[in-house]
Chains A and B, each alone.
Chain A
Amino acid sequence: MTTNRLFNILVPLFSVLIGLLAGAIIMLIYGYNPIEGYAALWKGAFGDLYFFGETIRQVTPYILTGLAVAFAFRAGLFNIGAEGQVIAGWLAAVWIGTSIEAPIYIHLPLAIIVAALAGALVAFIPGILKAKLGVHEVIVTIMFNYIALYSANAIIRNVLTEQADKTEKIAATASLSSEWLATFTSYSRMHYGILIALLVALIMWFIIEKTTIGFEIRSVGFNKHASEYAGMNVNKNIILAMIISGAFAGLAGSMEGLGTFGNMSIQAGFTNLGFDGIAVALLGANTAIGVILAAILFGVLKVGALNMPTEAGVPSELVDVIIAFIIFFVASSYLIRWILLRFKKGAK
């Protein structure tokens, strides 16, 4: 048990290390200086309060989408649809934010809750199809990404506005951003959403580790048939896991709608928040604390990367290569386990 836990920590750490090293080698091959490159990346993420704020801003939705994917994983479900659920949550949050007038203590929670419900609704359909008819959730959630994307575009264009490319800004009473945080981080778009993200991580940990529901969901994830034999309602748990997963992703969408952007534009393509969430969950070993750490890493890499071309002349795409390497090594954790075990054997 202890070795297993050790592996769960060592594998992601090693993957990150090897990923960064591989990035350095690639920079060298193409004639860039890796130390300058990584220094620029670091400076771009933490160089001053503005970029620190922007990094937190980017980390916030990553935590939530990571948790969403991780939660479904725990029930043995692969929720590729986090992307579509993010879009649904974003749209719902902006819809409430622009169309209702209410004091802040009603308006803001309402917008957030409706966003979570919207995400949950989009995830519910694949969940019930899986539970009742055995339709594979991967296929359905992928398709639902497109449904969500194009429906959201159509709604923005025809319902929320009159043929415009983006919605109005949300009312101040629905906004997560604060004057104080903005001034403190010299006008970054950091917002209070990070607190919500951390709270949700706590909730996820609590549900999974401390409640009967969480126990059943994990059990279904380990072995459906054994769980059924033990008298658990497998179908109910599958649907529930999808709903909670979707709600988390919907919250991630509300972070964009109520915090970062304050409105929603026609999306020409996916936001990639949901897809990156899969990587975050994978790197975070599907645990709440792991997801937070992985989300921080991804946020730092993504925001810091923007500084690399200006400061070190290194193309920002390099970070995508590094991330790909990290994912590759996490996914091939068997390889790392094998290497580590070899060391162990040698030691004996």
Chain B
Amino acid sequence: MRKNKLLLSILLLFVFSMFLVACGGANDDKKETNDADNTNDEATEDNATEDSGDFSVAMVTDTGGIDDKSFNQSAWEGLEAWGEEHGLEKGAAGYDYAQSEDDSDYLPNFTRLVKNDFNIIFGIGFLLEDAVADIAEQNPDNYFAIVDTVVDAPNVASITFAEHEGSFLAGVAAAMKTKTNKVGFLGGVDSDLINKFEVGFVAGAKSVNPDIEVQIQYAEDFNAVDKGKLIASNMYNSDIDVIYHAAGNTGNGVFAEAKDIKRNDPDREIWVIGVDRDQHEEGLNEDKSASVTLTSMIKRVDISVHEVTNAAMAGEFPGGETIVFGLEDEGVSVAETNEDAFTEDIRSAVAEWEEKIKNGELDVPKSRAELKEFEEGL
């Protein structure tokens, strides 16, 4: 008897779930036809690899995901723009992404995309270096690309940026803006890449005013908003009035803290310099009348991804090469969105230094050792 009741309840659960599934059936058909299209496309793709109409591209994010308001998002925007340019849709026949929840997800994600016959697959961020090296070795006939670091393999294109140059200009802007002669730098994880931001920023600030004090701190985490807020709070309390962050999501804590301070004391002049994308919106106050974002060091990951994809599509995949996006090709730049704060003085000073870097008059240091030499030469 008891058994019967149990059986009955399980049966009921089943019927119930079937019913629900039937409800969801409406958009089912559409999806299936889509799938059918995809398989057709894939079939033709195998036959005619040269035909540019069948080109598909995908990317693997690091643990940040495509809504990280930073370079994963920027890369995805690049792919979306590319898809729009060629009239393609998200999916196996156009462009797609795979999100990684954990370090161990990188390789399975790459493998799945390889199995789905994507023509070129991007790894976004230096965390994926090992995974890209492994997958490229296992699939010598596929194209891969990595952003922010270098993988030496004939079928991998390495995309790097001259972050130190952009950060130098951010440093110039910070030094022009500060009234206390104290500025701060908040890094994500202490690593070669983030050191480039730090060193460029310090060099830029000291070029304007050698006596300026730059406080440097690392959160050791790209995803800890609370830590970012705490560090920002300490910095602002010790008279620092401009903070440049290169800390991904952690940097959102800096914006939160700056906005909190402004809310309590609207007259206090404090600023944040954003990173990777134009973070003007992150700094807007409640009525959207003013932003604490002085400027942002923009890194056009989207342009780089877009260009490399187009090159691969045209049969000119830069395999084995390292492509550096710098000030000249607008791979890095500083945002001028906040016109109230980013005054004419600052704009012209930044333009002046930018010119010096572009024509080779000034060599911006890339590492702490180079910075030491640079400071001695000031």
Which residues of chain A have a CB within 8 Å of any CB of chain B? 17, 21, 24-25, 27-28, 31-36, 44, 50-51, 54, 57-58, 150, 153, 157, 165-166, 187-189, 256, 260-261, 263, 265-266, 268-269, 271-272, 302-303, 305-307, 309-310, 313, 316, 343-344, 346-347
Quote the shortest CB–CB distance from B147 to chain A (angstroms): 16
Q: Does B6 contact A (CB under 8 A)?
A: yes
CB pair A307 B112 closer than 8 Å = yes
CA–CA, A272 to B222, complex, Å? Answer: 16
Interface residues of chain A: helix, strand, loop or mixed (majority): helix
Chain B residues near A309 (CB-CB < 8 A): 97-99
Size class of the B contact interface (CB-based, 8 Å)? 35 or more
CB pair A34 B104 closer than 8 Å = no
Given contacts A36-B28, A58-B104, 14 further A-B contacts (CB under 8 A): A32-B24, A34-B21, A36-B31, A50-B115, A165-B191, A187-B138, A261-B104, A263-B130, A265-B103, A265-B127, A265-B130, A309-B98, A316-B99, A347-B1
Once A269-B221, A343-B9, A344-B2 are accepted as A-B contacts, the answer to whether A157 and B190 lie under 8 Å apart by CB is yes
Chain B residues near A54 (CB-CB < 8 A): 107-108
Minimum CB distance partner of B192 in chain A:
A165
Q: Does B153 contact A (CB under 8 A)?
A: no
Minimum CB distance partner of A24 in chain B:
B17
Chain B residues near A256 (CB-CB < 8 A): 104
Q: Does B170 contact A (CB under 8 A)?
A: no
CA–CA, A303 to B104, complex, Å? Answer: 10
Minimum CB distance partner of A153 in chain B:
B220
Task: Say which residue of B5, B105, B115, B138 sits within 8 Å of A347 (CB atoms).
Answer: B5
Chain A residues near B113 (CB-CB < 8 A): 310
CB pair A306 B5 closer than 8 Å = no
In the A-B complex, the 10 residue pairs with the closest CB atoms: A347-B2, A347-B1, A187-B138, A54-B108, A165-B191, A28-B24, A343-B5, A33-B24, A268-B221, A28-B20
Chain B residues near A344 (CB-CB < 8 A): 2
Task: Say which residue of A157, A187, A261, A306 sits within 8 Å of B112 (CB atoms).
Answer: A306
Minimum CB distance partner of A313 in chain B:
B31
Minimum CB distance partner of A267 in chain B:
B103
Minimum CB distance partner of B104 in chain A:
A260
Binary contact readout B80-96 vs A (1 if CB under 8 angstroms, 0 otherwise): 00000000000010001
CB pair B2 A306 closer than 8 Å = no
